[in-house]
Amino acid sequence: MLTFVGLGLYDERSITVAGRDAVGEADRVVAEFYTSTLAGATVADLEAYHGVDVEVRDRAGVEQSPGDVLDDAEGRDVVFLTAGDTMVSTTHVDLRLRAHERGIETRVVHGTTAQTAASSLTGLQNYRFGKATTLPFGRSHGGEGVPGSVTDTIDANRERGLHTLVFLDIDAANDAYMRADEAAELLADAWRDDLAVAVARAGSPDPVVRADALSTLAGESFGDPLHLLVVPGDLHHVERDALVELAGAPRSLVGE
């Protein structure tokens, strides 16, 4: 059996009880932290909390040579851990399909996600979000500034009045996480005076949620990673109040 368990958003206590039980009962625990990471816990923290050894694999170890994990999962209970939810990346769907092809039973134990937190912490309603996008570091997409796919997504959502969740690039190999102020600076080229919401450390005991013009957010700092950014579309009156009261948005920027 191969059980995919989402670790949730922040630290070793972000996992669900069902997930913790699956880890505790496993014969072997494998993890990857290149698609996302837990900013509030190290691998040693996870090992101590769960009382297990955690083998961390890099991208090549998951995508090109998962053979030993699958071999093991034929006869024993193997848990595969990822930050957030378990199937955020096609990589993991692919691994699940490989297991399925070999007749290995698979199971998914869900985790909390940035998508959920973006909505919950900002007060922006989940059914008013359109397609999400990811803002990459220049070195990741081999260009300068903001890729057209990102601006197109924000524009297309806004045409329909919808909010856009902007995931910020994670370069795990270099321990680099794009900050919300960097992201705001990049987006301010196109939308200087437009409202955005920076969210830092979603899922932690001390998240920061801050709404203001992109050019203003570009000059602020939001502390430790992970960060994300939301570009709102049309605002319902409760959403307006939430951004003003809970995120410090200037009333002039939220309308009405």
Q: How far is the CB of 143 from its own copies (least distance, A)?
A: 20
Q: How far is the CB of 10 from its own copies (least distance, A)?
A: 8
Q: What is the spatial distance between Cα 152 and Cα 161, in angstroms, rounded to a whole number?
A: 14
Q: How far is the CB of 19 from its own copies (least distance, A)?
A: 8
What are φ and ψ of residue 147, in 5° steps? -60, 150
Question: Please, which residue, 147 or 203, has the CB nearer to its own copies?
Answer: 203
Question: Please, which residue, 204 or 216, has the CB nearer to its own copies?
Answer: 204
Q: How far is the CB of 44 from its own copies (least distance, A)?
A: 18
Q: What is the spatial distance between Cα 250 and Cα 197, in angstroms, rounded to a whole number?
A: 12
Q: What is the spatial distance between Cα 236 and Cα 8, in angstroms, rounded to a whole number?
A: 29
**β partners of residue 3:** 79, 107
Say which amino acid occupies 247. Answer: A
Residue 110: helix, strand or coil by DSSP?
A: coil
Query: Taking a C-beta distance cutoff of 8 angstroms, is the pair 143, 169 a contact?
Result: no
Q: Which residues bind its own copies (CB under 8 A)?
A: 6, 8-9, 11-18, 20-21, 85-88, 90, 93-94, 96-97, 100-101, 107-108, 110-113, 115-117, 119-121, 123, 125-134, 156, 160, 162, 167, 202-203, 205, 207, 236, 238-239, 241-242, 245-246
Q: How far is the CB of 102 from its own copies (least distance, A)?
A: 12
Q: How far is the CB of 179 from its own copies (least distance, A)?
A: 21
Question: Please, which residue, 176 or 244, has the CB nearer to its own copies?
Answer: 244
Query: Taking a C-beta distance cutoff of 8 angstroms, is the pair 86, 110 a contact?
Result: yes
Question: Please, which residue, 108 or 190, has the CB nearer to its own copies?
Answer: 108
Q: Count CB-CB contacts under 10 A for residue 81.
A: 30
Question: Please, which residue, 75 or 248, has the CB nearer to its own copies?
Answer: 248
Query: Taking a C-beta distance cutoff of 8 angstroms, is the pair 5, 92 a contact?
Result: no
Burial label, 201 (beta-carbon count in 10 A; 0-12, 13-18, 19+): buried
Q: What order do you get walking across the sheet with 195-200 strand by strand?
A: 133-135, 164-168, 227-231, 195-200, 208-213
Question: Please, which residue, 37 or 86, has the CB nearer to its own copies?
Answer: 86
Question: Please, which residue, 19 or 218, has the CB nearer to its own copies?
Answer: 19
String of DSSP letters for 186-198: HHHHHHTT-EEEE
Q: How far is the CB of 201 from its own copies (least distance, A)?
A: 12
